[in-house]
Amino acid sequence: MTARTREDLRTADRIVVKVGSSSISGESAWRIPMIVHALSSAHSRGCEIVLVSSGAIATGIPYLDLEAKPTDLATQQAAAAVGQNVLVYRYQEALRPFRIVAGQVLLTTGDLENATSRSNARRAMERLLGLRILPIVNENDTVATQEIRFGDNDRLAALVAQLIQADALVLLSDIECLYTKPPTDPSAEPIDIITADSDLEGLEFGATVVNSVGTGGAATKVSAARLAAASGIGVLVTGADLVDRALNGEDIGTWFEPAVISATRAAPVS
């Protein structure tokens, strides 16, 4: 059932949740159990949850004794190889009390652009969900280069939501909602709902790079949300600390109304 409103998140059958590096790495790693608790609650009521999680590079950096995020590709790939392992371990440890098993899914743009690999990815994820496994998706940073990257995991989350025909997408941010201007601007006003045909000209969503450990920001979330909403997927943008309230359909964040698409969920690819 496509989520037409925020309230529908409470009863949605399939939700993709995306969390960024700044929310779960370094000193923010304490949020992982909190996010997992919210996901497990939705999982326990029968919802199929897919988590798209950034953070591999940021998580791996301390283990390589690096003082800052590396700028060369090879070291970024090395940090991702170490960090992805640690990141998934942290999620699995947090999931253990709820008797939920995580499944790691690493993707590149090529995986979703090529018909065969796209079909394989969809089939694998459908099977994981059918087995009540919680897929944790990230970009495959050990093989991705600037030329073949998604650009940010907000876009990856939107593409994954399209791939598995999710009912809703929740993009977790550092702020509670989107604003008409950067929230540091005194004249900025919160945005409640963005309709499918909204003209966003004149709105200022801020810079792309938001911190030293992750990329993204409001502009990338808007772009990803519009992409998913155009496919008939309702999208909520809100703060990572509000994930439990978001999945319970409370009136928070910025809601992107989905376009009306006359299509039914396809059967799992065999």
| pLDDT tens profile 158-170 | 999 999 999 999 9
In a domain, 75, yes or no: yes
At 106, which CATH number? Answer: 3.40.1160.10
In a domain, residue 242? The reply is yes
Confidence (pTM): 0.90
Contact yes or no for 133/102 (Cβ under 8 A): yes
Residue 103's contacts (CB-CB under 8 Å, 6 or more residues apart) are 128, 133, 134, 135, 136
Pairing of strands 102-107, 48-53: unpaired
Considering the domain boundaries, does residue 136 fall inside one?
yes
- Annotated binding site for ATP: which residue ranges? 18, 173-174
In a domain, 110, yes or no: yes
C-alpha to C-alpha distance for 63 and 79, rounded to whole angstroms = 8
**Does residue 222 lie in a domain region?**
yes
Q: What is the reported pLDDT for 228?
A: 96
**Buried/exposed 215-234: b ≥16 CB within 10 Å, e otherwise:** bbbbbbbbbbbbbbbebbbb
- Give the Cα separation of 220 and 154 in Å (integer): 7
pLDDT band at 181 (very low <50, low <70, confident <90, very high): confident
Residue 136, burial from CB neighbour count under 10 angstroms (0-12, 13-18, 19+): buried
pLDDT at site 262: 66
Annotated binding site for substrate: 54, 141, 153
| CB neighbour burial string for 7-30, b if at least 16 within 10 angstroms, e if fewer | ebbeebebbbbbbbbbbbbeebbe
Structure confidence by residue, pLDDT tens digits, 65-115: 877 778 888 998 999 999 999 999 999 999 999 999 999 999 988 888 899
Distance separating alpha carbons of residues 99 and 40, to the nearest angstrom: 9
Looking at the structure of the chain, the number of domains it has is 1
* Structural domain for 216, as ranges: 6-256
Backbone angles phi, psi at 201, to 5 degrees: -60, 135
Long-range contacts of 117-121 (CB under 8 A, 24+ apart): 118/163, 119/269, 121/163
**pLDDT interval class at 216 (50, 70, 90):** low
Q: Is 262 inside any structural domain?
A: no
- Annotated binding residues, written as ranges, equal 18, 54, 141, 153, 173-174
Q: Is residue 210 assigned to a domain?
A: yes
Q: Which of 150, 156, 161 is nearest to 230 (CA)?
A: 161
Query: 104 - beta bridge partners?
Result: 136
Indicate whether 270 belongs to any domain: no
173 membership: H or E segment, kind and range: strand 168-173
